[in-house]
Amino acid sequence: MSTDIDYYELLEVDRTADDKVIKSSYRRLAMQFHPDRNPGDQEAEAKFKAISQAYDCLKDPQKRAAYDRFGKAAFEQGGAGGGFGGGQGFEGFSDIFENIFGEFMGGGRGGGQRSSVRRGADLRYDLEISLEEAYAGKQATVTVDVAAACEPCQGTGAKPGTGSQQCKTCGGHGKVRAQQGFFLVERTCPSCHGAGQVISDPCGECRGEGRIEKTKTLDVAIPAGVDEGTRIRLTGEGEAGARGGPPGDLYIFLHLREHALFQRDGTTLFARAPISFTTAALGGTIEVPGLDRKRHEIRIPAGIQSGKQIRQRGAGMPVLNQRGHGDLVIQIDVETPTKLTSRQKELLEEFRATETGEESPQSSGFFARLKGVWEDLTD
């Protein structure tokens, strides 16, 4: 293939095409003429080299400006460019992998130095609180062991007064590349272990890590209305990043202790209240202590049955980060007396003697149905 073909013609774009259009066209053509897709095709290999050379020039603003003004002469006789001439061989192979697959591999060769700072890890702390504390909210104090930034070196890992240097093996990229046939192999730099920087004189306190183990005591504001599993985030209170990197976060996971009286479902509180059979029959009132430290008077209607629920509006848990409260639900359990005086027994016997069945319609109806079933079985 002639080397005099215009670079723009090679890439099948106009001279006014922007970087995005040029890159897109290059990718398409490079994939079409790549030697791996055209084994043994010398013409395809030559076309692949030519479009790689063209893209190497046009992707660089300075090279493109020089080419637009002087053409290929700008890169001859020690000019500003290069390309495939001058004994550079298969430099284009590096570009094709770098630009076609670069974003999937974490960036290309031309992206500048690899940052040596890394964000610290997030931490989890499990905190148990009572239902009363969940209702009212509280200030809690927690103690955690974390990897904190080393104070003498301020987290850099280098001895105070010194610093780190760019890794000579990888040039600060944190990775090294090697050409193997048509493929470009990339691996973590063995000298800096991916940091891109090396410390020749490490800090004596942290031994170059930039972090030391430390016990921290923190105050945690627990808002009213939190529930089981509620997560509170303390920004920047996790582990310090390596060599001056930003710290992670600390997450407080809340767990509620079992309560002696109440069970909870969202903002609704449930409780069971045993009442005497006379209160159930005649009606009355009972008092239930609430988590708001108030006594809630519950009215019992006459004739209430076991299992019936009575709802007290607004006496439940507060709504997290909002106004208002849920409800308090009392489930009634009618208790049959087990210890009676002689007089009480006499009174109950007198009551039984006056029963007509209308006092307890459910039980009288049940036995009436049972009698009918028995008669059908004996016919």
Domain shared by 92 and 39, yes or no: yes
| pLDDT score for 372 | 60
| pLDDT score for 76 | 58
To the question of whether residue 57 is assigned a binding role by annotation, the answer is: no
Longest dimension (CA), the chain: 127
Which position has the higher pLDDT, 160 or 318? 318
- Answer whether residue 252 is part of any domain: no
Tell me how far the alpha carbon of residue 354 is from its chain's centroid: 70
| Number of domains observed in the structure of the chain | 3
pTM: 0.58
Q: Which of 75, 95, 111 is the last residue of a domain?
A: 111
To the question of whether residue 203 is assigned a binding role by annotation, the answer is: yes
Is 74's pLDDT higher than 90?
Answer: no
- Answer whether residue 58 is part of any domain: yes
Percent of the chain with pLDDT over 70: 81
Domain shared by 21 and 95, yes or no: yes
- Answer whether residue 207 is part of any domain: no
User: Could you report the per-residue pLDDT of 243-261, keeping only the tens digit for each?
Assistant: 778 899 999 999 999 999 9
Domain shared by 285 and 368, yes or no: no
| pLDDT score for 169 | 87
Domain shared by 282 and 348, yes or no: no
The CATH number for 30's domain is 1.10.287.110
The tokens of 250 are what? 């600390």
Q: Distance between CA atoms of 207 and 238, rounded to whole angstroms?
A: 21
Q: Which of 63, 82, 111 is the last residue of a domain?
A: 111
Q: Distance between CA atoms of 61 and 73, rounded to whole angstroms?
A: 17
- Answer whether residue 90 is part of any domain: yes
Domain shared by 82 and 27, yes or no: yes
Report whether 242 contacts 210 (CB < 8 A). yes
Domain shared by 362 and 321, yes or no: no
Is 95's pLDDT higher than 80?
Answer: no
Is 103's pLDDT higher than 60?
Answer: no
| pLDDT score for 379 | 55
Is 101's pLDDT higher than 50?
Answer: no
- Answer whether residue 362 is part of any domain: yes
Q: Which of 82, 111, 140 is the last residue of a domain?
A: 111
Is 168's pLDDT higher than 70?
Answer: yes
The CATH number for 284's domain is 2.60.260.20
To the question of whether residue 206 is assigned a binding role by annotation, the answer is: yes
The model's confidence at residue 232, banded by pLDDT at 50, 70 and 90, is: very high
Q: Which residues contact 194 (CB under 8 A, 6 or more apart)?
A: 114, 174, 175, 188
Name the nearest CA neighbour of 146 among 165, 128, 121: 121
Mean pLDDT of 45-58: 89
- Output helix, strand, coil percentages for the chain, rounded to the nearest 5: 30, 25, 45
- Answer whether residue 119 is part of any domain: no
Q: Distance between CA atoms of 39 and 357, rounded to whole angstroms?
A: 100
Element of type H or E holding 269: strand 268-276
The model's confidence at residue 176, banded by pLDDT at 50, 70 and 90, is: confident
User: Could you report the per-residue pLDDT of 340-353, keeping only the tens digit for each?
Assistant: 999 999 999 999 89
Query: What's the number of CA atoms in the CB half-sphere (13 Å) around residue 74?
Result: 16
The model's confidence at residue 3, banded by pLDDT at 50, 70 and 90, is: low
- Answer whether residue 192 is part of any domain: no
User: Domain range for residue 371?
Assistant: 342-378
Domain shared by 29 and 87, yes or no: yes
Domain shared by 82 and 30, yes or no: yes
Per DSSP bridges, beta strands 284-289 and 295-300 are: antiparallel
Is 83's pLDDT higher than 50?
Answer: no
Mean pLDDT of 255-276: 95
| pLDDT score for 357 | 76
The model's confidence at residue 36, banded by pLDDT at 50, 70 and 90, is: confident
Domain shared by 107 and 17, yes or no: yes
Range scoring the smallest mean pLDDT among 3-7, 35-39, 172-176, 239-243:
3-7
Range scoring the smallest mean pLDDT among 98-107, 173-182, 363-372:
98-107
The model's confidence at residue 225, banded by pLDDT at 50, 70 and 90, is: very high
User: Could you report the per-residue pLDDT of 281-324, keeping only the tens digit for each?
Assistant: 999 999 999 998 889 999 999 999 999 999 999 999 999 999 99
Report whether 291 contacts 318 (CB < 8 A). no
Is 108's pLDDT higher than 70?
Answer: no
Name the nearest CA neighbour of 15 among 86, 93, 67: 67
The tokens of 30 are what? 């490079």
Domain shared by 13 and 53, yes or no: yes
The model's confidence at residue 165, banded by pLDDT at 50, 70 and 90, is: confident
Domain shared by 267 and 346, yes or no: no
Is 375's pLDDT higher than 90?
Answer: no
Domain shared by 72 and 13, yes or no: yes
- Answer whether residue 37 is part of any domain: yes
Measured between its terminal Cα atoms, the distance across the chain in Å is 110
Q: Distance between CA atoms of 268 and 328, rounded to whole angstroms?
A: 6
The model's confidence at residue 186, banded by pLDDT at 50, 70 and 90, is: confident
